Structure 1
Amino acid sequence: MDYDVLVVGAGPVGLMLATELGLAGIRAVVVERRSEPDTAPKAAGINTASAEIFERRGLLPAIEAARGPLPFQGERNRAPFAGHFGGIQVPAAAVDEQDPLLRGRGPGWYLPVEQVEVERVLGRRAAELGVEIRRGVDVTGFDEDDDGVTVHLRGGGDLRAAWLVGCDGGRSLVRRQAGFDFPGTDPTITVRQATGTVHGAELLGQGWQYTTTGLYVYGPRPGWIRTVELDGPPVDREAPVTASEMDASLRRVSGLDVHVTDVADGGTRFTDHARQASTYRRGRVLLCGDAAHVHSPFSGQGLNLGLGDAVNLGWKLAATVRGWAPERLLDTYVSERHPIGADVLDWTRAQVAAMRGDAYSSALRAVVTDFLGTRDGATLYAKRISGLGQRYDLGGGHPLVGALMPKLQLDDGSRLADHARGGQALLADFVGNDELAVLAKAYGTRLKLVRGSAEGSGLSGLLVRPDGFVAWASDAGGTDGLETTLTRWLGAPAGTATTRR
């Protein structure tokens, strides 16, 4: 084998996966057809769950250094809106920040940072970890056998890897060639976005604006424009977005005498088509991010969903390569992430349903606006778009099991997240239980023991998977169920592991 894992696509998802594999010492390579990162406007922020991914890996300071302005301003650390649902602004003041899922994780559930900046941070980290990133390399196809995958490159030459992961976007060649089904709903709208020079911008309202022909939003940064037209998908999604196209679209939707005279760094189009692969794995080929699911980016879900896929897959694939993965561990990537993806697709479809200009959608929009203005409605929205409401069905009776690890400060001044930088699972002992130390030692470098008190947590012990999700928790000081849980997620203790596919 040339590599253990070959990742196709050097967007944020492919690079996030690469850093996770690099942390585990896996021989990985990322191939990308573009010679340089794409600077066209795309995702403009990450949610709380994604920020905590970067925090656990020690990358949050670099991400925060690249942050931009908050949407529609307000103070730098707080925006007046928690976000929007189909253009309906959700008031931040209505969110219950003392909700158990949100407490200590705000204010704000969105860190404004451009996708290209996320890619730069992850690209640097992947290179530091020894992951090879090859740009200007176009994959034309591949052949799979029982032992691995042979990937063919344009211009000749092959690369051989034990596993192939398609992180190559919504038009994924990997998905198509491997024969994954990709069912879903067809596009009905066209959204255009660009940064340009807008004459008459003072006439445009702040925030999302509904009109008889669609929606538009101007800002939060100067010159940033997005229009939504409800008359079907574009004829050509690949053609460059020109100033004249943005000008015509903005005037059609707004009905105002405004003019776009230039577009900087290109623009983008997208639609509301929503599709999801029926599975994310076929043999030695896996899908991650937009290659596995596509949808409109309303409420900023796409980038965050893909990052969640990558951290879920990374440690499981690394464990499989290393040979210590318990049976069917890799299959849990699909069973855990597929329902999350399906839920996000429906979340975006519902927003489009509320956007339409007919009487039914207008009535629905009025009801949803009332609901999102209440404390319960705004709090539910914040839990959804922050990613903190996502959880896996991992069994176990403790309410933390299956949820993201809590934000805990230890008595030595460190945070529990600080101990996750190496990418291992964490076994936290908050009461000095020597049984936990014995169990941790048996797993060697797969499991890191963290000892110290966490005042006010009420916890005596906690097992956190490498992706940050809680697999076991105890309030009572015992170890009931811990050995079974360790075997389920980390396999047999060191020295007795067997290779699993």
Structure 2
Amino acid sequence: MPEFLMIHDVVISGAGPVGLFLACELRLAGLSVLVLEQAEDPHSPLKRLPFGMRGLSAPTIEAFDRRGLLDDIMAPQREKDQSTSAHWMQQPRRPGGHFAGIQFFHDTIDTSTWPYRLPGPADTSVAVEMEHLEFVLAARASAMGVEVRRGLGVDGFDQSDGGVTVRAGGEIFRGRWLIGCDGGRSTVRRAGGFEFVGTDPEFTGYSVQVEMADAEKLAPGRHYTPTGMYTYQKPGTIAMVDFDGGAFHRTQPITPEHVQSVLRQISGADVTVTGLELATTWTDRAYQAAAYRKGRVLLAGDAAHIHSPLGGQGLNLGLGDAMNLGWKLAATIRGDAPEDLLDSYFCERHPVGVKILDWSRAQVALMRPSRSSRALEAIIRDLIDTRDGATYFAERVWGVSLRYDLGGSHPLVSRSAPDFELADGTRLGDHLRQGKGLLLDFDACAPLQALASRWNGITYVASDARDRLGLSALLVRPDGFVAWAGEAMPDNEGAAQAASRWFGKA
């Protein structure tokens, strides 16, 4: 190994949203970060409308707000919302999301069942264009000093007790840690020998933009048929699911003739595809890494878990990995982390992945072209149109039920912190911009201020709030999750124990 070879604190494989967001998190902690990306050009037609739209759930929206990214990410959508506000006001019901295409609506959801949620800077779910999201994250990474090398996909690596030697495009790079954010076919995962287990696909899914003759033969909307499912949006955007066991996915070129054949088979309509503008395939293969860490190598995003894009939860799952991992790895590298802090990344995020994969599998079960699935669909439709049913599905789809097992007796502990509106005009999220923990003290209690001063990683803020939710103080981790909450008589010893658990020795 040449002595002049630069050693980065962290090398990240993959410059998608997860890799870029994680790089920003690590740079926020002052670490040197190198991102290696196989694709030379970040632009792709499949990242633009209509295929490039992704829904951001509540935890993702909160994470971006807490890092000062939300305004830039949401700017195009807010502009669009202003131009279409009159249209929404004319709608009898406002859709809130769906489960296997079965919609639930805002007017049916009982938000009173979420007593620890306060109004935030955005809705509980927003749509963004993937290309714009990556542009914003890449710009932030560049401004923060992240080094991004495109056209250099990781070919392999060797790790030792002191670091990782990474081979990419004929070049050698050195990092103290390596993180695979390189997608469902992750080279880092394969080269690292991570066990990847799950269920094989039942279908090949198609997302296509076509030109058609006799397009009027296709009814707009989502349709379940005896041979599959298709969704048609004028003038030529089509999604199809062909229950072929995933046989066609990435095995042959996608031709207009093939798309026409599958479309006729599933829809039963004798339409003719005259042009194929964009096309991609996907499956419902659902696999998850049995471990997210081996030595100095970690996995995040699709490298750690893959599933069908039904419901659009994959991006949020990966960004949640990044928000959870960044501050923990940074503290580990600095040397001020509790001994098992990095292990908590897997302990907290793996169960979340398990639930999302099963959520995806459940939707597949509802979509199968069988009489039993149609019977089940009718029951789900009835349930989702009830107040309790719509609330349950909203909790899952929007991510508002996300909770880690952090211990603690108060029901707010383990949940995302409410976005308190403070008396000084700031909000809780404003005080998490630097990636540190936060001790928010509504009563300006001197013992709590003294306690917070014992940890460099905790910011102390004393301010009353418009709505305290019955609290006197709370300790928030850098990722925005509540580690301790005190009511009328705060338990200073409990606060100190929580601080030691997440921020190390005082």
TM-score (norm 1): 0.92
Alignment correspondent of 1:114? 129
Alignment correspondent of 2:231? 217
Which of 20, 24, 29 in structure 2 is aligned with 1:24? 29
d(CA) in 1 for partners of 2:124 and 2:232?
21
Alignment correspondent of 1:65? 75
Deviation of the 1:460 alpha carbon: 0.9
Alignment correspondent of 2:206? 192
Q: Mark the CA change 1:436 to 1:177 in structure 2 (over 3 Å): closer, same or farther.
A: same
Which of 168, 173, 177 in structure 2 is aligned with 1:153? 168
Structure 1 gap segments, 5+ residues each = 494-501
Q: Mark the CA change 1:409 to 1:206 in structure 2 (over 3 Å): closer, same or farther.
A: farther
Alignment correspondent of 2:63? 53
Amino acid at match of 2:461: V
d(CA) in 2 for partners of 1:106 and 1:363?
40
8 Å contact kept, 2:55–2:126 = yes
SS at match of 2:77: coil
Which of 311, 327, 332 in structure 1 is aligned with 2:339? 327
- 1:172-203 Cα offsets, whole Å, 9 max, x none, are 11111111111110111111113344555555
Alignment correspondent of 2:119? 104
Deviation of the 1:451 alpha carbon: 1.9
Taking the TM superposition and a 5 Å limit, the aligned residue runs for 1:454-469 are 454-457=465-468, 458-469=470-481
Count residues with an aligned counterpart: 488
2:365 counterpart of 1:360: no
Deviation of the 1:256 alpha carbon: 2.6
Amino acid at match of 1:491: G
Deviation of the 1:412 alpha carbon: 1.6
Structure 2 gap segments, 5+ residues each = 1-5
Deviation of the 1:123 alpha carbon: 0.7
Alignment correspondent of 1:499? none
Amino acid at match of 1:284: R
Alignment correspondent of 2:293? 281
Q: Mark the CA change 1:106 to 1:129 in structure 2 (over 3 Å): closer, same or farther.
A: closer
d(CA) in 2 for partners of 1:242 and 1:407?
50
Deviation of the 1:366 alpha carbon: 1.5
Alignment correspondent of 2:3? none
Alignment correspondent of 2:145? 130
- 1:359-391 Cα offsets, whole Å, 9 max, x none, are 221221111111111111111111111111111
Q: Mark the CA change 1:396 to 1:140 in structure 2 (over 3 Å): closer, same or farther.
A: same
Alignment correspondent of 1:44? 54
8 Å contact kept, 2:61–2:122 = no
Amino acid at match of 1:112: A
RMSD (Å), alpha carbons: 2.3
Deviation of the 1:407 alpha carbon: 1.8
8 Å contact kept, 1:87–1:209 = no
d(CA) in 2 for partners of 1:322 and 1:238?
46
Alignment correspondent of 1:316? 328
Deviation of the 1:119 alpha carbon: 1.0
Amino acid at match of 2:155: T
Deviation of the 1:415 alpha carbon: 1.0
Alignment correspondent of 1:338? 350
Alignment correspondent of 2:318? 306
2:494 counterpart of 1:481: yes
Amino acid at match of 1:56: R
2:504 counterpart of 1:491: yes
Q: Mark the CA change 1:237 to 1:274 in structure 2 (over 3 Å): closer, same or farther.
A: same
8 Å contact kept, 2:164–2:175 = yes
Which of 437, 449, 453 in structure 1 is aligned with 2:464? 453
d(CA) in 2 for partners of 1:400 and 1:60?
24
Amino acid at match of 1:176: R
Amino acid at match of 2:463: G
Alignment correspondent of 2:240? 227
8 Å contact kept, 1:31–1:137 = yes
8 Å contact kept, 2:249–2:282 = no
Amino acid at match of 2:141: A
Q: Which has the higher helix share?
A: 2
Alignment correspondent of 1:496? none
Q: Percent identity?
A: 48
Amino acid at match of 2:481: F
Deviation of the 1:124 alpha carbon: 0.6
Moved more, 465-474 or 201-210: 201-210
Alignment correspondent of 1:497? none
Amino acid at match of 1:139: V
Deviation of the 1:236 alpha carbon: 4.4
8 Å contact kept, 2:38–2:151 = yes
Q: Mark the CA change 1:198 to 1:129 in structure 2 (over 3 Å): closer, same or farther.
A: farther
Alignment correspondent of 1:8? 13
8 Å contact kept, 2:13–2:153 = no
d(CA) in 2 for partners of 1:37 and 1:240?
22
Taking the TM superposition and a 5 Å limit, the aligned residue runs for 1:398-437 are 398-437=410-449
Deviation of the 1:416 alpha carbon: 0.8
Alignment correspondent of 2:101? 87
d(CA) in 2 for partners of 1:409 and 1:196?
48
Amino acid at match of 1:136: G
d(CA) in 2 for partners of 1:356 and 1:26?
48
